[in-house]
Amino acid sequence: FPGGWLAERYGTKKSLMIFNLVAVAGYLLVILIPSIWAVMLGSVLFISWTSLSLPATMGLISEVLPKNKRTMGVSVHSLIRRIPMALGPVIGGYLITVYGEITGVRYAFIVALIMALVSMVFQKSMIHEPEKKSPAEIEECESHKLLISPQLKKLLIADILVRFCEQIPYPFVVLWCMNVNRISGIEFGILSTIEMATALLIYIPVAWLADRGTKKPFVTMTFVFFTIFPLVLLYSKSFGMLSIAFAIRGLKEFGEPTRKALIMDLAPEGRKAAAFGTYYLYRDIVVSIGAFSGAILWSISPQANFIGAFVCGLIGTLWFYLQGTDMTTEKGGTK
């Protein structure tokens, strides 16, 4: 929520600069102070960048793109984000291997610092500075009124239930694969690659289709893939079946950009970033509390964990299918 609030109050450009400075401060702490406390504090600062910047980024996409291009915009953003996510560990691992743990980690953070500063230069030159908000608009940004419309609330309820389905088994997937089914670390890495490759392959085609029709079917299919993953995983006892399960896990990205675009469509005009931040605040707080039930269910049995997750996902999917609001492109209108 703070990210959305700052974006609404000070504008996307200034807020992103502030968020980058927060990350830069975290990098500098780790680089300059060789202390565990500095590392912990620095980690809080630079890890928070993703959550802080996401509402502003989604608000920027909604500002510069029409409704019939937003899903593609969110998809391209998600696709590009995965490039450093894939390359970062490789570069960091190389630096640690060559220069050792302490010096290598410090060099890795220096590289991250340089990239953050370069990104600030691009943001300064490429993002259009919006007009300053009036005092009345600034006061409105400080209110939570109408940020979550009834239509958006229906999506939020479904999203919370489906995220329970995701988070309940999430920390135990690796245990199921490696401890219960006895696959190797290399094989688990291959499964993760299958998941990521599947997600990358579907981003653009699905976005192209979603921008030319209604969004609800694609969000519903995403919720379906979230829901069936723990059930398929439960019956996966071999590497081949686990490969199918992880491909399904990758397919959960089928309509994720569409879901984010739908949030922006359902959010009130002029309040996109704040509404997006508030939506994620409510969702993540509830899900983070409820996810503790995963450990309780796993202590009973893996079957209880996976079936419990499936039931949560099924309820959320059916709720959205029956109650969720659909949005079409500007040519088609709103349903």
Q: What tokens does 68 get?
A: 């019939």
Both 153 and 252 in a single domain? yes
The overall average pLDDT reported for the chain is: 81
Quickly count: other Cβ atoms within 10 Å of residue 190's Cβ.
Answer: 16
User: pLDDT tens across 37-74, in order?
Assistant: 888 888 888 877 777 777 777 777 777 777 777 778 87
Same domain, 103 and 36: yes
Predicted confidence band of residue 331 (pLDDT cuts 50, 70, 90): very low
Beta-bridge partner residues of 334: 327
pLDDT tens by residue, 243-255: 999 999 999 888 8
**Tens digits of residue pLDDT in 135-162:** 555 555 445 555 678 888 899 999 999 9
Looking at the structure of the chain, the number of domains it has is 2
Structure tokens at 322: 């029956």
What is the span of the domain harbouring residue 199?
A: 147-323
In a domain, 290, yes or no: yes
CA atoms of 250 and 248, how far apart (whole Å): 5
Same domain? 232 vs 297: yes
pLDDT given at position 132: 52
244: CATH: 1.20.1250.20
Q: How far is the C-alpha of 323 from the C-alpha of 317, rounded, in Å?
A: 10
At 131, the pLDDT band (50, 70, 90 cuts) reads: low
Interval 313-323: pLDDT, tens: 999 999 999 98
Q: Which residues contact 135 (CB under 8 A, 6 or more apart)?
A: none
Residues 152 and 102 in one domain: no
Most distant CA atoms of the chain, gap in Å: 62
157: in domain: yes
* pTM of the predicted structure, to 2 decimals: 0.74
Query: Could you tell me if 117 and 165 lie in one domain?
Result: no
Asked whether residue 262 carries a pLDDT value surpassing 70, the answer given is yes
Position 332 pLDDT exceeds 50 = no
Note the pLDDT tens digit of each residue in 179-213: 888 888 788 888 888 888 888 888 778 777 777 77
Say which residue the tokens 């401060």 belong to.
25
- Give the amino acid at 45: L
- Residue 73's pLDDT is 80
